[in-house]
Amino acid sequence: MAAGDSPNNKSGQTDGGEAPPAAAAACSAVPAAEWERLGWDLTELILCRLPLRSLVRAGAVCRQWRAVVARCPPSTWSSSRRRLPWLFVFAHHNLVPRLSSAFAYDPSDDESAWIPLPAPSAPLPDSFSGSGGFSFSFLSSSPSRLSLSPLLRPQTTFLSPPLAFPRSNPLVVSVLSSGHERPSVVVVGGARVVGGLVDIEDRLPVEIYEAGDDAWELGPPLPAEFRPGCSSQWLSAALLPGRGLLFVLATYSGVLSAFDLARGAWTRPRPLRPRAPGPPPLFAFLAAARGRLVLAGLRSGPDYGPAQFAVWAVDDAAMECEEVGAMPAELLAWLFDGEGAAAAAADDDDDRFASLKCAGVDGVVYVFNEDRHRGFPACVCEISEDDDAPGGLRCAWRKVPPLPAPVDPFHKVIAFCSPVPVHPVLAPRGPVVR
């Protein structure tokens, strides 16, 4: 490596941006020869233990570090440090779109808290979502075309070919990453759009975008047990890649079915039921944890005390769920500015909890109150394996820090949870993360 490429040369910057002053100062205190003797393998071992934001900054220090960060396979990072999925929040302003804002929360980095992001240029509030390291939106001028952008790099956009069936507010899930440029996705449900009008009675076929072919394929629609025109507001999904199945759950009826990605067919839909005596969830959201399905939702019943937000392990073969843990009562109350569980117990009114929403993947579940706009109270549950715990899983709950102040008033919250791959963030033109 030439002297100009060593970490102690501040002038050897790359297109990833300038090195942070602290990093540059630390590097400049070490002679170039010492950095060269460190070697690729040891440099990789050190850097891969950093949280993502620190890793991006390290990639801006010099060419060698950027090459180490950018060229190593994702398995290297995941094996050295578990990178928890981030929570992404889009705060939409109905009247003045320029006042809309976006934030990301990295639970692995205690110092980062919320990271301000550029808001999507012109998203439709009901058609914006994300998974698998990408955000998705249907263009307002053409609801039949899907726009895909790597998370943290919204200025990089890919536009899909037109769908066979224009639709409003479908469930969009990334199912396979093709290289690092764009994913393959599955579009499920939604209401058909014809001439600007919405037909909620039509059952739309599943459409699968094959990134390698840059083309859409058709699959069978959701089974009849799901309501027609079922949108992402009434559905949640979880992908189990090892089994090649995309599970879809009806939020309120608890009906569960899986789309077999290899066969292009749905499994027989059936309602989930509790394994032990107890109230079924009033509403629930589907997530994946440690290669298994989990539910997160509200349970309540006259014989079981105040309403609680709980997590269940799902046995999709028996179509049963077993509770593995509940959110502490003080956290539930905090989601309602201190009103929550006690007020619900007194009022016997479970409808007040309808504003609770959930997003989860890879063993992390975020719960937030979409009605408490300015503060956006949220908490996170990390799910780990424990053979001695109910369902073989254990839950650990904690608060998510409040959004950074000041935040412009906003009318609607769109939030989703996704892992953030390293490679797209370090692509040319530099990362958006600051």
- Residue 84 pLDDT more than 90? no
The larger pLDDT score, comparing residue 67 to residue 315, is at 315
Confidence of residue 424 (pLDDT cuts 50, 70, 90): low
Nearest CA to 366 out of 304, 287, 429 is that of 287
Q: Copy the structure tokens of residue 76.
A: 């290297």
Highest mean pLDDT among 115-129, 135-149, 259-273 belongs to 259-273
Q: Which residue has the tokens 């709950």?
A: 397
Q: Copy the structure tokens of residue 374.
A: 């300015």
Given a contact cutoff of 8 angstroms between Cβ atoms, the answer to whether 102 and 44 are in contact is no
Query: Taking residues 35-60, what's their average pLDDT?
Result: 73
Q: Copy the structure tokens of residue 355.
A: 């504003």
What does the pLDDT look like over 353-374, one tens digit per residue?
Answer: 888 999 999 899 999 988 766 6
Strands (E), 341-408: 356-361, 364-369, 378-385, 393-399
What angle, rounded to 10 degrees, do the helices at 40-47 and 63-71 form?
A: 70
Confidence of residue 168 (pLDDT cuts 50, 70, 90): confident
* pLDDT of the residue at 365: 94
Query: Taking residues 47-74, what's their average pLDDT?
Result: 72
3-class secondary structure, 177: strand
Nearest CA to 80 out of 54, 116, 47 is that of 47
* pLDDT of the residue at 254: 92
* pLDDT of the residue at 149: 84
Given a contact cutoff of 8 angstroms between Cβ atoms, the answer to whether 184 and 178 are in contact is yes
Sign of CA dihedral 359, 365, 369, 375: negative
Query: Taking residues 418-430, what's their average pLDDT?
Result: 66
Q: Which residue has the tokens 């424990």?
A: 386
3-class secondary structure, 17: strand
Strand order in the sheet with 273-274: 273-274, 320-326, 308-315, 292-299, 281-289
- Residue 2 pLDDT more than 50? no
- Residue 172 pLDDT more than 80? yes
Given a contact cutoff of 8 angstroms between Cβ atoms, the answer to whether 251 and 231 are in contact is no
